[in-house]
């Protein structure tokens, strides 16, 4: 379906080695100074304006992930109402000639007056022209949706004339809700041993269904700030050596269908 994260750096293995060394030197929590240290190093890994799309079904936790990466409430989240009604542009980091921008897309299945499912699928497919990396978010405690995700991913990522070897990271979100959810270790901010076993089963299930290498999967909890450093590592080592398009971000996101949000860390 897509290239593995390492393939994006196949011409420069030193980047992966450098990233591994760098990430081994920091803690597992993406917060405060840690976030600044991580994103302040982007010029060591890319030298262009990278655009990362966050896609998936409605309610999967896309906007929560966007907020967790940004370290601020940049995208609306909700338990009942659909919050992301237009693609939201979130400038995540910039240093010299390198930058990271998140694009938080409305979720498939939202059934809002703003987007029909057909229009959303076309919006997703059109993003292949200009996004450099995709994060497909799956809700970790959902037991029913995998086949639907698979069919939609095939429609978007396989039936396209725009590009081949599309870099996608599948993000299993909300793993703190995976049974037994009450056993989450609140002191160490990590899953219990029982949860770890079920999380690993979930990872293997997604890996088998989508026919993915393990490196393309990441399990996270945005609420608990867990797994985000590993995800950032995968992002850094998955981004292509060159941008997908020469079209500027202002031209791409100048349309009224995009909403730009500034990041003010709390």
pLDDT in tens, 144-155: 656 778 888 888
| Beta bridge pairs of residue 49 | 99
CA distance 58 to 64: 12
- Which one-letter DSSP state was computed for residue 156? I
Cβ contact 206:254 at 8 Å? no
Nearest-angstrom CA–CA distance, 83 and 134: 20
Cis peptide before 178 (omega within 30 of 0): no
Q: Which of 22-26, 116-120, 244-248 has the lowest mean pLDDT?
A: 22-26
User: Of the ranges 119-123, 226-230, 244-248, which one carries the lowest mean pLDDT score?
Assistant: 244-248
From CA 258, how far away is CA 242, in angstroms rounded?
A: 24
DSSP designation for 104: E
| Mean pLDDT of all residues belonging to the chain | 80
Yes or no: say if 138 and 60 are a contact pair by the CB < 8 Å rule. yes
Contact 115, 125 (CB under 8 A): no
Residue range 92-117, pLDDT digits in tens: 888 888 899 999 999 888 666 677 88
State how far the Cα of 25 lies from the Cα of 176, in Å rounded to an integer.
Answer: 26
Give the pLDDT confidence score for residue 10 in this predicted structure. 41
Backbone phi, psi, residue 137, to 5°: -100, 130
Distance CA 65, CA 126 (A): 22
Structure tokens at 201: 């089963």
Pairwise CA distance, residues 212 & 128, whole Å: 20
Confidence (pTM): 0.84
Phi then psi dihedrals of residue 133, to 5 deg = -155, 145
């Amino acid at each position: 379906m897509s290239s593995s994260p390492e393939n994006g750096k196949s011409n420069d293995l030193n980047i992966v080695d450098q990233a591994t060394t760098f990430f081994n030197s920091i803690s597992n929590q993406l917060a405060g100074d840690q976030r600044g240290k991580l994103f302040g190093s982007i010029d060591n890994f890319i030298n262009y304006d990278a655009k990362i799309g966050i896609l998936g079904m409605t309610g999967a936790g896309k906007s929560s992930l966007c907020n967790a990466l940004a370290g601020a409430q940049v995208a609306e989240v909700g338990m009942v109402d659909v919050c992301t009604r237009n693609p939201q542009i979130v400038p995540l980091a910039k240093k010299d000639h390198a930058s990271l921008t998140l694009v938080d897309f409305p979720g498939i299945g939202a059934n809002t007056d703003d987007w029909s499912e057909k229009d959303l699928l076309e919006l997703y497919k059109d993003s292949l022209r200009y996004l450099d990396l995709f994060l497909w978010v799956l809700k970790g405690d959902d037991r029913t949706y995998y086949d639907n995700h698979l069919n939609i991913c095939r429609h978007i990522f396989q039936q396209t004339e725009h590009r081949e070897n599309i870099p996608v990271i599948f993000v299993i979100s909300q793993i703190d809700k995976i049974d037994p959810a009450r056993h989450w270790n609140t002191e160490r901010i990590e899953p219990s041993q029982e949860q770890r076993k079920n999380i690993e089963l979930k990872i293997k299930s997604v890996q088998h269904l989508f026919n993915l290498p393990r490196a393309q999967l990441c399990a996270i909890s945005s609420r608990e700030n867990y797994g985000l450093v590993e995800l950032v590592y995968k992002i850094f080592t998955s981004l292509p050596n060159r941008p997908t398009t020469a079209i500027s971000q202002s031209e791409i996101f100048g349309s009224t269908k995009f909403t730009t949000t500034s990041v003010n860390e709390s």
